[in-house]
Amino acid sequence: MDNRAIGVYDSGFGGLSVWRELRKMLPEESLIYLGDGKNCPYGGRSREDITAFATEAVEHLVAEGVKMVVVGCNTATTAAVEHLRSRWSDMPIVGLEPAVKPACLSSRTRRIAVLATEHSLRSEMFLSTAMRYAGDVEVVKVVGEGFVELVERSAEHSPEAEAAVRSVVEPLLGMNIDKIVLGCTHYPFLRPQIESVIGDRDIDVIDSGEAVARRVKWLLERYDLAADGTKPPHYKFLSFAEEHYRARLQERAERIAQELNK
């Protein structure tokens, strides 16, 4: 048993989609969320830069006394998770990978799409996962152009967001694709907009949030790291950006928590 918090890190707001699943599945666990904010978006940056940001973030979380880190960012996972695991070899570090495997296994049309950042889609990690699980399934790779910026501005419900989502998703509709995998943790915040472009077509939208929460639960049990439930959990929010950004992160998380409690 271990009542220390779990650290969750993302380039910005996106990891809150993972934070939501962690809160839902592990209500007794304390969570410390670090949304970089200052260097976001990561998607077009080099592996070296992202590795440096991720290392600084994990150093911060470790200084806060966390027992585990969830890299709630596909881009930072593809760039840096191996480095982070070798530097902090005595602490579990959970990465985020697009749900290519379940999508390929259940695809009826044998053609799926993965939406992710430019960096993730050209990374070795993505390519090796896709190769390993795709088999005869064709994987169409698409960058969610502008999606991260829209979520960072909390502008998901704007006509601009609707247009950005339409221009990315509409071309996929005539391609005999039956799964759209959200391979960036910001994208689940645009799920309603994505689903509205899909309409009543038989296409599933899949993200990795719940699978990651399940993996964290398994690790907590496996290494005897779960909170003992004697203390109420606490939630903290950190950022490398200005206080205003950190406060927005916290407000957004509080709204997510209220929705979960409904």
**Active-site residues: which are they?**
73, 184
Quick one: which of 54, 148, 172, 181 contacts ligand DGL (CB under 6 A)?
Answer: 148
Q: What angle do CA 64, 40, 27 make, to 5 degrees?
A: 45
Tokens of 36: 């970089």
74 binds ligand DGL (CB under 6 A): yes
Question: Which region, judged by CB under 6 A, interacts with ligand DGL, from 155-163, 181-189, 199-207, 223-231?
Answer: 181-189
Quick one: which of 69, 73, 112, 165 contacts ligand DGL (CB under 6 A)?
Answer: 73
194 binds ligand DGL (CB under 6 A): no
* 28 contacts 44 by C-beta, under 8 angstroms: no
Quick one: which of 107, 120, 129, 193 contacts ligand DGL (CB under 6 A)?
Answer: 120
8 binds ligand DGL (CB under 6 A): no
239 binds ligand DGL (CB under 6 A): no
CB atoms within 10 A of CB 144: 24
Quick one: which of 10, 21, 97, 207 contacts ligand DGL (CB under 6 A)?
Answer: 10
> What is the distance between the alpha carbons of residues 144 and 111, in angstroms, rounded to a whole number?
18
Residue 120's nearest CA partner among 57, 184, 182 is 184
Quick one: which of 7, 41, 144, 188 contacts ligand DGL (CB under 6 A)?
Answer: 41
- CA 162 to centroid of chain Cα atoms: 21
Instruction: Provide the 3-class DSSP secondary structure of residue 151.
Output: helix
Question: Which region, judged by CB under 6 A, interacts with ligand DGL, from 38-46, 60-68, 234-242, 243-251?
Answer: 38-46
Q: What is the side-by-side order of every strand in the sheet holding 31-35?
A: 93-94, 68-71, 6-10, 31-35, 235-239
Summarize as ranges the residues that interact with ligand DGL (CB under 6 A). Answer: 10-11, 14, 40-43, 73-75, 117, 120, 148, 184-186
